[in-house]
């Protein structure tokens, strides 16, 4: 179980990096880039910390949790698509989904 949790943590960090970098690239000036990055990372972190993490105050169960995980996964994969090779992205998605299956 510890291996799966450590892998899950690393996958979540990779998703946060992809989301932050993706929103950073959407801005025109440095200020808007930084603002988009910080705001959308904060939204993602607060949403996950409130509803998705194992120690969340309002833990989602079943398909609702799976939908939250898929939403965050697809946003991060969308941003990864511009940076990485599709095989790497597909491997990341498969590892993430398998890890979700084995943790549940």
Cβ atoms within 10 A of the Cβ of 74, count?
11
Give me the mean pLDDT over the 86-100 stretch.
84
The per-residue pLDDT for range 28-79, each reduced to its tens digit, is 999 999 999 999 999 999 998 899 887 888 888 888 888 888 888 888 888 8
User: Dihedral, CA atoms, 84, 15, 69, 94, nearest 10 degrees?
Assistant: 40
The per-residue pLDDT for range 1-35, each reduced to its tens digit, is 688 788 888 888 888 888 998 899 888 999 999 99
pLDDT at residue 1, rounded to an integer: 60
φ, ψ for residue 94, nearest 5 deg: -65, -45
Q: How far apart are CA 24 and CA 80, in angstroms?
A: 13
């Amino acid at each position: 179980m510890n291996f799966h949790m450590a892998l899950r943590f690393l996958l979540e960090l990779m998703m946060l990096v992809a989301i932050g970098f993706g929103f950073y690239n959407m801005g025109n000036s440095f200020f808007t880039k930084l603002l988009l990055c910080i705001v959308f990372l904060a939204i993602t972190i607060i949403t996950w910390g409130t509803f998705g993490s194992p120690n969340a105050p309002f833990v989602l169960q079943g398909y609702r949790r799976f939908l939250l995980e898929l939403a965050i996964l697809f946003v991060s994969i969308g941003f990864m698509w511009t940076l990485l090779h599709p095989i790497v992205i597909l491997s990341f998605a498969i590892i993430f989904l398998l890890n979700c299956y084995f943790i549940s």
